[in-house]
Structure 1
Amino acid sequence: MADSDAGRPLRKISTAFKELAATVNSPSPEVPVAQFSHACSLVSPLFGCLGIAFKFAEMDYVAKVDDLARASSSISTLLVMVDKDIEANCVRKAGSHTRNLLRVKRGLDMVRVLFEQIIASEGDNSLKDPASKSYDQVFAPHHGWAIRKAVSLGMYALPTRAHLLKMLNEDGECMN
C-alpha cells in the first residue's frame, strides 16, 4: 500500500478487498479467516461516520468481525469454519461463526449498496436517500417495525456527502 493511502480508509478497504478477490480468483480460492476478518475490520469506521442511524449496525458488525478474528487463531479458512458449524449443527444459532459471517456479509452489502447509491446520486449532498435505500434493501427485511422506525428517524442525523468524505479524508475522486 502506498504511503499516500495512510489515513485514507476507503483506499485501505479497496486494497484489502482486491487482495481477497485475488485469493478467490486464484487456483486455491479458499479464503483465510484472518485475511477476511482483517479486510472487514477496515470497513468498521464507515459505520461510525454515518452517525446514530447506524450505531447499532456498527456495534453488531464490530462484534461479529471480532468473533471472526478470534476464530482465525484456530480455524484456517471460511470454508473450514462453515463446515465445522454444519458438523456441529449450529449454523443458525446465535453466536455461531457462520451466523456471524452472515451478519458481516450483510454489513458489507449495506456499505456496497450505500456507495453505489451515493455514486448514482451524484450532485446530491444528502445521504438520506442513499442510506435509506441501502438500509431498506439490506437490513430492513431482517428487522422488526421498532428497529426500522428508529433507523428511519436516525436518517435525519446523517452527515452530508461532503462531510462524510471529509471524515474519511477523501476528496471524492475515490468515488469515480
Structure 2
Amino acid sequence: MLGFRQMPWSSAQEQEQAPSEQLCEGVSAVVAARQGMEKPLTAVAEAFEELARGMEADGGELRLAPFSDSCALVSVLFSSLGMAFRFAEIEYVTKVNDLIGAGKSYRTLSDILDKDIQNDCVKKQGSHSRNLRRVRLGLGLIKALFEQFLDTEGTLYDAATIAYGQVCAPFHSWAIRKAVGAGMYTLPTREQLIVRLNETDFSVQKEMRRYIDASSPIIEYIDNLFLSRNISLDW
C-alpha cells in the first residue's frame, strides 16, 4: 500500500499473523520502551519534534537510529486505523525493521543512500534505500491524512481516500487502487479514531498539527536526499 506494486491483500491467516510476527522485532521493542504510548499520537508528535531538533543540531544531517526509532512509533497510528490500513501497516513495519537493523552499521540516512548508489541497488527490492523511500511514503500518508482530517468536516473515509490518492495511488495499479478503495469502508469514524488515540476533540487537533509541522522538514529532507543525487521520486 505504500508504493509496492504487488497486491497487498493476502489470506485471512496472513492478515492475522503477519503484523504480530513483524512487530516482535525492532519496532515492537521501540514501542514498548517509549513512555507515554497510552497516548500514541502525542508520543509520535514528541518524537518527531525531537528528531527535527536533532537534525538541526547535527548541521542538517539526519541520523538513522533516532529516525528509525521515531518511525517505529508511527506503526501504532496505522494500527489505530484498523483493517483499512492493515496492509500499509505490515509493509511499513517490515521496512522500518530493516532500517532499525541498518542503524547498527550506518550513522546517517545519507550513508545508506550513498552505499546503495555505490552498489547500484538503490531501487532494488530489499535495499535500505528502497525501504527508506517506502517509509517516507508512510510518513507522508499519515501527514496527508491528518491534514485532511483537520481541514474538512467530512468523514475519516473522505480524509483517508484523499490522502491515499495524493500519496500512494500514483504508484499503484488499478487493481490495487480498487481493493484499497473497498477497504476504506472499514475505517473507524472520526469519533472512534479520537477515542482509539486517547485524545479529545481539542487535543487531537493540537497533536495532529504537531506531527504535521514536525514531520514536514523530515519528509522534505528525505526527498531532497534522493533528488540531490539525481534520483527521481516517481517509484
Q: Same fold (TM over 0.5)?
A: yes
Cα distance between partner residues in 1 of 2:63 and 2:52: 12
Letter in 1 for 2:187: L
Cα distance between partner residues in 2 of 1:151 and 1:121: 21
Matched, 1:160 2:182: no
How many angstroms does 1:154 deviate by?
0.8
What SS does structure 2 have at the residue aligned with 1:25?
A: helix
Aligned CA distance change for structure 1 residues 170 and 24 (closer, same or farther; 3 Å): same
Divergent runs of 4+, >6 A: none
2:223 matched residue in structure 1 = none
Within 5 Å, give how 1:14-163 maps onto structure 2.
14-122=45-153, 124=154, 126-163=155-192
What SS does structure 2 have at the residue aligned with 1:43?
A: helix
Cα distance between partner residues in 1 of 2:175 and 2:82: 18
CA deviation vs aligned residue, 1:78-133 (integer Å, no higher than 9, x gap): 111111111111001010000100000000000000000000114x4x21110000
CA deviation vs aligned residue, 1:16-37 (integer Å, no higher than 9, x gap): 1011111222252221111000
Cα distance between partner residues in 1 of 2:76 and 2:163: 17
Q: Tell me, which stretches of 5 or more residues in structure 2 are unaligned?
A: 1-34, 207-235
Aligned CA distance change for structure 1 residues 156 and 76 (closer, same or farther; 3 Å): same
Cα distance between partner residues in 2 of 1:73 and 1:175: 36
Cα distance between partner residues in 2 of 1:116 and 1:32: 27
Cα distance between partner residues in 2 of 1:85 and 1:74: 13
CA deviation vs aligned residue, 1:18-66 (integer Å, no higher than 9, x gap): 1111122225222111100000000001111212221111100000000
Question: Aligned-residue CA RMSD in angstroms?
Answer: 1.4
Identity %, equivalent residues: 49
Tell me the TM-score normalized by structure 2.
0.70
Tell me the TM-score normalized by structure 1.
0.92
Cα distance between partner residues in 2 of 1:86 and 1:170: 43
What SS does structure 2 have at the residue aligned with 1:135?
A: helix
